[in-house]
Amino acid sequence: MSSESGCTGIKPSERKTIEEKTLREVLEWVASDDPAPGGGSVAALSVAFASALVEMVSRLTIGRRKFADVEADMNRTLTGAMDVKGKSLALFDRDVEAFLDVMKAYALPKETEAQKSARCLAIGKALFGAARVPLDTLRNALEVMRQAETAALKGNPNAITDSTVAALLGEAALLGAAFNVKINLAGLKKLMSNAETAEALKRRGPGGADQTVADLASDQGPIDEAAIKAIQDELDTSLKEAKAIKERVLARLQEVIEG
């Protein structure tokens, strides 16, 4: 969802976290006329469901004599999937918060030149924050796809369709997260066409060529072209890896089907 859509009527005091809601309540929340939770949150929730499937396949494999040689791998996969599931549930709520932060920034006054400058800076920071949340979802989605591949290749073949669904859910979440990152970065780049705003965003952190991607996508790094390029490069690499994982998982599915 673009962060430039209309203001939301969500009030913080009225909202519950996803873990305080039933599944039906979550579905009705998404289906409501509030613009958040939207696609970013649903992508995060998809990763959580994919992780749950990987957990199931792992548990259907661990402790069975015929899979003893892969037990260590499946135990690691189980632990990793549980970790990703917890992170992804938190990202559902973080995506809502990031959207609200963008809306608050757009609602700032813009009567004077000083107010306009402050508003542009606030919007820029909020958009970058709104890009970072789906970036984390994308990373989790890629990780669950890797876990799903392990489950497909080494796990109980009777659960191959569950591993496959996990991989495909992960891919859908990864694509959705990537689109959300891109649309928020596009809005940020428009703001950065203003030299004053671009300079103010750049001063947010120390910068430097030795910064890691994690630094650039954190609260400490500067918001500049280098930060945006680092994220875009990560998106491209992740999309290629996800495509390759899906192909291998589908090939394994076909092997099992053909016996």
* The listed CATH number (1.20.1250.20, 1.10.260.40, 3.40.50.10190, 1.20.120.680) that belongs to domain 36-258: 1.20.120.680
Q: What is the per-residue pLDDT for 4?
A: 43
**Contact (CB, 8 A) for 171 and 142:** no
Q: In terms of Cα–Cα distance, which of 87, 65, 221 is closest to 144?
A: 87
Q: What is the per-residue pLDDT for 163?
A: 99
Cα–Cα dist 220/227, whole Å: 11
Q: What is the per-residue pLDDT for 206?
A: 38
Q: Cis omega before residue 109 (within 30°)?
A: no
Residues of the chain falling short of pLDDT 70: 1-15, 196-198, 200-222
Cα–Cα dist 43/169, whole Å: 9
Tell me what percent of the chain is helix, strand and coil, each rounded to the nearest 5.
80, 0, 20
Q: What is the per-residue pLDDT for 216?
A: 40
Q: What is the per-residue pLDDT for 15?
A: 62
pTM for this entry = 0.84
Using CB atoms within 10 A of its CB, is residue 153 exposed (0-12), middle (13-18) or buried (19+)?
middle
